[in-house]
Amino acid sequence: MANETNWKKWEGPGEPEGKGGMSIPESSQPEEVGGRSRKMAMITCYLCGASGAIDNDAQWYTCWKCGGTATTMVG
């Protein structure tokens, strides 16, 4: 069973600290050299409902579609 992360809207100024970044659409996940795929976590944006992928160990993300930022940290 997969671990679930409780994402919350980021209320602070700028970007949260820690590892994170822009999510990517599910259909365009990158492949690494040699045809191996990266381990990505699937997310659903709290604001627009778009599905996307982020690095498995990310602590925050910005939605690829609407620009909403969510985090596991308190702002």
Helical (H) or strand (E) element with 42: strand 40-44
| Cα gap 66→47, rounded to integer Å | 8
Question: CA nearest 53: which of 17, 74, 29?
Answer: 29
Q: Are 51 and 7 in contact (CB under 8 A)?
A: no
Write down the pTM of the prediction.
0.71
**pLDDT (0 to 100) of residue 1:** 45
pLDDT tens-digit map of 2-37: 566 778 888 888 888 888 888 888 776 656 666 666
pLDDT tens-digit map of 56-69: 889 999 999 999 99
